[in-house]
């Protein structure tokens, strides 16, 4: 990253060039042009990025004014400062040079120390314009310019490059809970970390907010090594803050592509990461590009589809293991698309979460369930408790939290329950617990969803008093095949019972699984063995059948 700055010396007198060269060549990479025409050709070569041009005024072919005019026209003077070197000190020529945009003027004879200082100041001043004031790294524009010249430089034709796009997770929440200063501090630490990392980056830039891009030589790139640094607990002004980051990788296949295109690909790779518990990075390939098209159409259509009621709430029965009675249900969203048919939530929920739309959907589900329960109650019909899934995003939205509490209060009953995953819980900083407490005060049960997926830990049960724990489907699936797995399920259930938590097993499909779960004393079972998620109409049918056979239990479990 510490290449020498480049200076172009333009003068038709070889002697003058020699003098300037001897003054500057220790500190800078100096290049020479003999006249204006050669200078223009050199300046417009996008592989070179001169940080300063020293320009004589009187030259054959194209003179110094001609070079300034060219640079003016091509908006190059914003990026490359020009200092005129001249012995002509007439007012007229000086005024003309300044009016054409020269930055400064050296008159002969040259004083070495003065020239060095002024060159340094000018370069530093222009360099500041290319920097991000927070991290001190390059801004987007400068990154594009320098990355372009490195990747496309013919001298580097045998090198291979990688672009790595980083995103710090939950920085918005950190800003909110710990203050902007803490967020800024994390950004700076992250930048320094990248700078000193094994990546040995050729260039780094903070593109915007919490997005960073690095240009790396392929031989320095080791994704696993980088992964190890993506999760850290930082000490920020005496507070411990967990920092998580993810990255997307793009191997430069064709150096002729625009750098912005390469950045977009690395970013798409980052955005394709759905299950963060597997690994914190993804490498771009063409299928990701295809996925992106889907993502874009999901986002485009979402609000309209919500308004058109293409989203429907399905209900999956939950059965009491000891009695086989129907006791409750889980609300699961379905997108019934007029052209694409039924789209499962796994396809669109991660996309909505990533782009901040999920809260609208969760609110819709909550309202819909509230409405269904109220309508049945008003008609004097029996109701069962229904649990609703909340996304981690909902906890960052103050309005959403207030609305959830409002809606739950309004119902005045405790038939709605909330499911949250361990990830959501982990994402809740500080006042998350307060929020859950105020819900529990209303008598509403909180379920811990997907326990055992990803990196679960029992620690979470100590941190919060969940009412019910849902054992993830990935465990249940392995019941028949894996002895250790059976022991783990059994122990989870025992442990929960010992601390007063009930258990639901998710995704039970076979009789063997159901029998084993019953044997272990699992309280409730949810899975295709009993029923798939059902439309409201189907669910009413299902419940009617169970009711006829006296197979519904409405004791508040
Ligand atoms: P989840 O909350 O863990 O829901 C259980 C998932 O397991 C559901 O998938 C359900 O259809 C599926 N399942 C249940 N029993 C079986 C079985 O025996 N075999 C198999 N193979 N699958 C079974 P679904 O409906 O595709 O939902 C996936 C996830 O999407 C849910 O996982 C939940 O995390 C999320 N989700 C669904 N609806 C909503 C919603 O309204 N809001 C939010 N934020 N997330 C939702
Ligand atoms: Mg759930
Ligand atoms: Mg689940």
Query: Do 375 and 405 form a contact (C-beta atoms < 8 A)?
Result: no
CA-to-CA separations, 524 to 174, 338, 423, 485, 542, in angstroms, rounded: 37, 36, 23, 19, 17
Name the band, by pLDDT with cuts 50, 70 and 90, for residue 116: very high
Nearest residue (CA) to ligand 1, atom 4: 332
Higher pLDDT, 397 or 373: 373
Among all ligands shown, which has an atom nearest to the Cα of 393? 1
Distance of alpha carbon 259 from alpha carbon 264, whole angstroms: 9
The mean-pLDDT minimum among 147-156, 390-399, 435-444, 471-480 falls in: 390-399
| Cα 26 to ligand 2 centre (Å) | 66
Average pLDDT over residues 345-371: 90
Q: What is the pLDDT of residues 377-426, one digit of tens each?
A: 898 888 999 999 999 888 877 888 888 899 888 877 789 999 998 877 87
The pLDDT of residue 555 is above 80? no
Q: What is the pLDDT of residues 492-532, one digit of tens each?
A: 999 999 999 999 999 999 999 999 999 999 999 999 999 99
Q: What residue ranges in 123-218 does DSSP mark as E strands? A: 161-169, 203-208, 211-217
| Cα 489 to ligand 2 centre (Å) | 18
If one counts every other C-beta atom within 10 angstroms of the C-beta of residue 303, the result is 11
If one counts every other C-beta atom within 10 angstroms of the C-beta of residue 278, the result is 10
- Residue 373 has a pLDDT of 92
Token pair, residue 536, equals 């409201």
Higher pLDDT, 294 or 264: 264
Name the band, by pLDDT with cuts 50, 70 and 90, for residue 109: confident
Name the band, by pLDDT with cuts 50, 70 and 90, for residue 301: very high
Length of the chain in residues, anyone?
557
Q: What is the pLDDT of residues 206-223, one digit of tens each?
A: 998 999 999 999 999 999
| Cα 439 to ligand 3 centre (Å) | 20
- Residue 407 has a pLDDT of 87
Distance of alpha carbon 22 from alpha carbon 28, whole angstroms: 11
Distance of alpha carbon 278 from alpha carbon 100, whole angstroms: 58
Token pair, residue 13, equals 């007198």
Cut 0.75: pTM above it:
no
Name the band, by pLDDT with cuts 50, 70 and 90, for residue 430: low
Nearest residue (CA) to ligand 1, atom 10: 533
Rg (CA), the chain: 32
If one counts every other C-beta atom within 10 angstroms of the C-beta of residue 519, the result is 11
């Amino acid at each position: 990253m510490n290449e020498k700055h480049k200076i172009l010396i333009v003068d038709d007198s070889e002697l003058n060039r020699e003098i300037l060269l001897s003054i500057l060549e220790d500190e800078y990479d100096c290049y020479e042009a003999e006249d204006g025409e050669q200078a223009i050709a050199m300046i417009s070569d996008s592989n070179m990025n001169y940080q300063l041009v020293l320009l004589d005024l009187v030259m054959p072919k194209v003179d110094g004014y001609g070079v300034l005019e060219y640079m003016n026209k091509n908006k190059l003077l914003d990026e490359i400062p020009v200092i005129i070197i001249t012995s002509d000190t007439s007012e007229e020529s000086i005024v003309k040079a300044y009016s054409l945009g020269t930055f400064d003027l050296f008159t002969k004879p040259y004083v070495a120390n003065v020239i060095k200082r002024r060159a340094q100041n000018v370069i530093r001043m222009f360099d500041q314009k290319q920097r991000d004031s927070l991290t001190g790294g390059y801004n987007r524009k400068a990154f594009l310019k320098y990355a372009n010249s490195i990747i496309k430089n013919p001298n580097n034709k045998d090198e291979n490059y990688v672009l790595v796009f980083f995103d710090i997770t939950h920085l918005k929440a950190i800003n909110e809970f710990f203050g902007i200063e803490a967020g800024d501090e994390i950004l700076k630490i992250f930048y320094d970390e990248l700078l000193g990392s094994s990546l040995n980056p050729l260039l780094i830039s903070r593109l915007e907010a919490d997005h960073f891009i690095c240009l790396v030589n392929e031989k320095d790139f080791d994704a696993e090594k980088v992964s190890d640094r993506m999760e850290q607990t930082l000490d920020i002004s005496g507070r411990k803050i967990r920092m998580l980051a993810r990255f997307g990788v793009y191997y430069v296949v064709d150096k002729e592509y625009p750098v912005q295109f390469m950045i977009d690909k690395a970013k798409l790779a980052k955005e394709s990461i759905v299950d963060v518990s597997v690994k914190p990075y993804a490498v771009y390939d063409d299928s990701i590009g295809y996925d992106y098209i889907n993502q874009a159409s999901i986002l485009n259509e979402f609000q309209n589809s919500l308004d058109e009621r293409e989203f429907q709430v399905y209900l999956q029965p939950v059965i009491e293991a000891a009695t086989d009675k129907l006791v409750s249900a889980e609300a699961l969203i379905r997108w019934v698309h007029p052209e694409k048919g039924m789209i499962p939530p796994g396809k669109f929920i991660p996309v909505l979460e990533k782009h901040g739309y999920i809260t609208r959907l969760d609110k819709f589900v909550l309202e819909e369930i509230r409405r269904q329960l109220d309508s049945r109650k008003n008609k004097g019909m029996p109701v069962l408790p229904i649990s609703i899934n909340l996304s981690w995003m909902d906890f960052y939205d103050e309005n959403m939290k207030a609305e959830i509490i409002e809606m739950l209060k309004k119902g005045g009953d405790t038939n709605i329950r909330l499911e949250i995953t361990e990830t959501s819980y982990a994402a809740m900083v500080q006042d998350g617990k307060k929020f859950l407490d105020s819900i529990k005060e209303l008598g509403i049960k909180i379920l811990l969803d997907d326990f055992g997926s990803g990196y679960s830990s029992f620690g979470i049960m100590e941190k919060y008093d969940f009412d019910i724990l849902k054992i993830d489907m990935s465990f249940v699936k392995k019941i028949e095949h894996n002895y250790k797995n059976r022991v783990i399920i059994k122990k989870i259930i025992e442990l929960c019972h010992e601390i007063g938590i009930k258990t639901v097993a998710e995704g039970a499909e076979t009789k063997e699984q159901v029998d084993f779960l019953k044997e272990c004393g699992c309280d409730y079972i949810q899975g295709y063995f009993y029923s798939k998620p059902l439309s409201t109409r189907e669910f009413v049918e299902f419940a009617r059948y169970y009711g006829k056979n006296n197979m519904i239990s409405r004791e508040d479990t």
